[in-house]
Chains A and B, each alone.
Chain A
Amino acid sequence: DAMVIQNPRYQVTQFGKPVTLSCSQTLNHNVMYWYQQKSSQAPKLLFHYYDKDFNNEADTPDNFQSRRPNTSFCFLDIRSPGLGDAAMYLCATSRDATGQETQYFGPGTRLLVL
């Protein structure tokens, strides 16, 4: 089945220690998104890639970076995680960015910062 895969499902890191979360997709979609979701809140868009074009949200901290080496993979790098970065990180994809394209979400990676 075509799907969005996130690894690992759970990640524990130490305060200030860089961490990378990964996402892959078999849908061959052009657009990949990264969201942060804190407990009892809605997902918050961090950034997205349209093909190789990176689009950062204005309020996304510089601590968060992303890479998309090819169509299938996208990575979220947190350079110096703080306690406030503990959250569920969701990857999503859409076929295009016309404004009416469905976004398909992966299962998420729950990040714990000690």
Chain B
Amino acid sequence: GENVEQHPSTLSVQEGDSAVIKCTYSDSASNYFPWYKQELGKGPQLIIDIRSNVGEKKDQRIAVTLNKTAKHFSLHITETQPEDSAVYFCAASSAGNKLTFGGGTRVLVKP
């Protein structure tokens, strides 16, 4: 089955700096890669996603890149703000729409 590795597990950045989270996956059949933000005590919220026919996607301060050959994808957050502090999960979706999640990255943005 699919296996998703996510790094780093924790990330501390100064407000205004950029944050980068990287994920690798194992199943070449995976073709949809969402990123979720989860705040304490809440459910995961989709922040951006990318499909296998696209190499990069951007939404304001958030961008995701996908390298299907190398089987890795990354989340980039620019101009970080304290409200960006949360746990971020990458995921890969394959047949049957099953999501396999990475282990999560706890991001702390210091004012």
A positions within 8 Å CB-CB of B: 4, 6, 31, 40-43, 45, 55, 90, 94, 96-108, 110
Contact = CB atoms under 8 A, between A and B. Distances in A.
Contacts of B45: 105
B46 A102 contact: yes
A97 B97 contact: yes
B89 A103 contact: no
Contacts, number: 59
A42 B89 contact: yes
B102 to A, nearest CB: 7
Contacts of A90: 43-44
Contacts of A108: 41-43
Contacts of B96: 55, 97, 99
What does DSSP make chain B's interface, helix, strand, loop or mixed?
mixed
Contact of B51 (A96, A100, A110): A100
B43 A107 contact: yes
A82 B70 CA distance: 42
B73 to A, nearest CB: 14
Contacts of B97: 31, 94, 96-101, 103
A42 B34 CA distance: 14
Nearest to A105: B43
Contacts of B103: 41-42
B78 interface: no
Nearest to B4: A42
A42 B35 CA distance: 12
B13 to A, nearest CB: 20
19 contacts: A40-B104, A41-B103, A42-B101, A42-B103, A42-B104, A43-B101, A45-B98, A45-B99, A90-B44, A94-B97, A99-B93, A100-B32, A100-B93, A101-B93, A103-B34, A105-B36, A105-B43, A105-B45, A107-B42
